[in-house]
Amino acid sequence: MRNIGVPALEKAFEQGISLNDAMVHGLISLMTRVEDSNVIWRADYETLQRVQLKAKDILAKGSIFTSIGREEIQKFDNDCVEHSISPGGAADLLSITIALFLLKNA
């Protein structure tokens, strides 16, 4: 995932956004590709595919860098909470991504 998460964080920090927003962008980026067993366990594989497509759609709409992207992220978050969808696998990979980013940029 270093080819997805680390570049996402680098882009975010280059744009000068906050740490929190950079992490959100990194998480959304990872969610486009991660075969997240948490999502599959709590829902099913079709839900995982919908999550991945929605994450790709958010990136296409500018992610955290645009007002439309931010609105889509908020809607997506609300939908995940409402349906008990937890991308825990992607979140775990985000923590590793942060460590790789720090090692690369220390």
Q: Write out pLDDT tens, residues 34-52.
A: 999 999 999 999 999 999 9
Q: What's this model's pTM, rounded to 2 decimal places?
A: 0.94
pLDDT at 54 over 70: yes
Residues 6+ apart with CB under 8 A from 3: none
Residue with tokens 């790789």: 100
pLDDT at 27 over 90: yes
Q: Write out pLDDT tens, residues 64-106.
A: 999 999 999 999 999 999 999 999 999 999 999 999 999 998 8
DSSP annotation of 64 reads: G
The domain limits of the chain are 5-105
